[in-house]
Amino acid sequence: MADLSGRTAIVTGSGKGIGAAVAARLALCGAAVVVNYVHDADSAQRIVDGIRALGGTAIAVQADVCDDEQSRKLVDAAVDAFGGVDILVNNAFGRFSFDPRRRSTFTGGDWSEFHAQLEGCLHGAYLMCSQVVPLMQAQTFGRIINVSSNLVDAPIVPYHSYITAKGGLVGMTRSLAQELGGFGITVNAIAAGLTAGTASSAATTEDVREHIIAMTPLGRLARPDDIAGGVALLASDLAGFITGQCLHVDGGLTMR
């Protein structure tokens, strides 16, 4: 198991779904974790309570990471509670439903859909990085992991706005990795496959699910814990010489 003892992690959008699994896994590996949420305080507190019940350390902090002041408040809460920030997981994104029946075609959609995804995914990650990078530079250590999607490389269903935003996140990952390597900071991305048991995947039709499973060498959809395992790896010293990469966690559906 990756050892994250003595480190502090912020996981954005971690009150449920993939983010909750990531927060729990990082805590299991020894990190003190800040569980971030926007609306559902009860769900976030359940994640914190579950972590504490297993002997881990966590707090819940409400903040909209797309707001400059609130993103600063989130980072300040981590510093006040745990003394710093060593790991940032940018998991939050704009609300999106993977429903092929109701998706917007390129000519049938409009820019507002793109703007919503760029705001939720890229702007939030930009603001959070803006807050934590100076801290990481000062301590000459840091791990930034951005949660992207395998749809960027394999757009089985062309969800245009979502894929565009997640592709931009991969680009930002690589440019940051180039700039921050000299400070001992690694920046990587996780390209998550369709993940069962999340609110976003609930509307995916059965035929699309079966098509993805049939194309996946490991023969199933991703689970939140699968994504969490990839994040824990990239957050640990095991990945200390890995930066600027996009790790596909999709059972082999996308091979690069």
Picking from 185, 189, 151, 152, the residue whose alpha carbon sits closest to that of residue 167 is 152
**Tokens for 52?**
């504490």
How far apart, in Å, are the Cα atoms of 88 and each of 14, 42, 78, 233?
12, 23, 11, 13
Contact of 34 with 59, CB cutoff 8 Å: yes
Cα 162–61–18 angle (5° rounding)? 40
**Catalytic member of 37, 126, 159, 162:** 162
Contact of 117 with 96, CB cutoff 8 Å: yes
Q: Which residues pair with 143 in a beta bridge?
A: 87, 186
37 noted as active-site residue? no
User: Would you give the DSSP letter of residue 182?
Assistant: G
Give 110-142 as a DSSP string.
-HHHHHHHIIIIIIHHHHHHHHHHHHHHHHT-E
Going along 173-250, which residue ranges are E strands?
185-192, 246-249
**Tokens for 208?**
């699309």
Annotated catalytic residues are 162
